Structure 1
Amino acid sequence: MRPALILVVSALLVAGCGAGAGSSTNGRGEGTAADSGSASTASGAGDAAEPLLGGGEPVARVAKRVRPSVVQVNVEGAQQTPFGRQQSEGLGSGIVYREDGYIVTNDHVVADASQVNVTFSDGSTEQARVVGKDNFTDLAVLKVPRNDLPAARFVEEEPMAGQLAAAIGSPQGLESTVTSGVVSGLGREIPAELTGGRQEQALVDLTQTDAAISPGSSGGALADRDGRVIGVNVAYLPPTQTGAESIGFAIPASTVTSVADQLIRTGEAQAPYLGISTATLSPEVASQFDVQAESGALVGEVTGGSPADQAGLSQGDVITEIGGTPVEGSGNLLGALRDYQPGDRARLTVVSGGEERTVGITLGERPESASSPGQNG
Structure 2
Amino acid sequence: MNDPQNQPPGMKRLAAVAVFASLALAGCTAADEPETESGTAGETAGATSGETAEGSGDAADSPAATVADIPEIIDDVQPSVVTIFLDNGGLGSGVIYTEDGLILTNEHVVRGAEEVQVAFADGQRVTGTVVATDAVTDLALVQADRTGLPPAEFQTELPEVGELAVVIGSPLGFENTATAGIISGLHREIPGSATNSQSLVDLVQTDAAISPGNSGGALVNGQGQVVGISEAYIPPQAGAVSLGFAIPAGTAVEVVEELLEDGSAEHAFLGLAPRTITPQIAQQLGVSVEQGVAVLAVEEGGPAGEAGIQAGDILVSLNGEPLASSEQLLAALRSLNPGETVTAELMREGETSEVEITLGERPVENG
Partner Cα distance (1:15, 1:236) in 2: 10
User: What is the match of residue 265 of structure 2?
Assistant: 269
User: What is the match of residue 320 of structure 1?
Assistant: 317
Measured after TM superposition, the shift of residue 222 of structure 1 is: 1.3
Question: Aligned pair in 2 of structure 1 residues 160, 346: CA closer, same or farther (>3 Å)?
Answer: farther
Partner Cα distance (1:202, 1:191) in 2: 12
Per the normalisation by structure 1, the TM-score is 0.73
Partner Cα distance (1:297, 1:245) in 2: 29
Partner Cα distance (1:106, 1:70) in 2: 13
1:246 and 2:261 are equivalent in the alignment: no
- Aligned with residue 42 of structure 2, among 27, 48, 56: 27
Amino acid at match of 1:178: A
Q: Work out the percentage of aligned pairs sharing the same amino acid.
A: 41
Structure 2 unmatched ranges of 5 or more? 1-24, 44-63
Preserved CA contact (<8 Å) 2:38 2:111: no
Deviations 1:322-347 (A, max 9, x none): 4x6664432222223223333x2222
Question: Aligned pair in 2 of structure 1 residues 254, 289: CA closer, same or farther (>3 Å)?
Answer: farther
Map of 1:297-376 to 2, 5 A cutoff?
A: 297-314=293-310, 315-322=312-319, 327-342=323-338, 344-352=339-347, 358-368=354-364, 370=366
- Aligned with residue 274 of structure 2, among 278, 284, 302: 278
Partner Cα distance (1:139, 1:150) in 2: 20
Preserved CA contact (<8 Å) 2:36 2:233: yes
Structure 1 unmatched ranges of 5 or more? 18-24, 29-52, 77-87, 372-377
User: What is the match of residue 232 of structure 1?
Assistant: 229
Amino acid at match of 1:6: T
Map of 1:1-377 to 2, 5 A cutoff?
A: 6-10=29-33, 12-17=34-39, 25-27=40-42, 55=66, 57-76=68-87, 88-185=88-185, 186-189=187-190, 191=192, 203-239=200-236, 241-281=237-277, 295-314=291-310, 315-322=312-319, 327-342=323-338, 344-352=339-347, 358-368=354-364, 370=366
Amino acid at match of 2:301: G
Partner Cα distance (2:163, 2:240) in 1: 21
Q: Considering only aligned residues, what root-mean-square deviation do their CA atoms show, in Å?
A: 3.3
Deviations 1:262-316 (A, max 9, x none): 2222222232211112233468866886768665544332222211111223332
Question: Aligned pair in 2 of structure 1 residues 362, 159: CA closer, same or farther (>3 Å)?
Answer: same
Measured after TM superposition, the shift of residue 357 of structure 1 is: 5.5
Preserved CA contact (<8 Å) 1:164 1:183: yes
Amino acid at match of 2:97: Y
Preserved CA contact (<8 Å) 1:181 1:211: yes
Preserved CA contact (<8 Å) 2:37 2:108: no
User: What is the match of residue 52 of structure 2?
Assistant: none
Question: Aligned pair in 2 of structure 1 residues 230, 202: CA closer, same or farther (>3 Å)?
Answer: closer
User: What is the match of residue 84 of structure 1?
Assistant: none
Preserved CA contact (<8 Å) 1:75 1:114: no
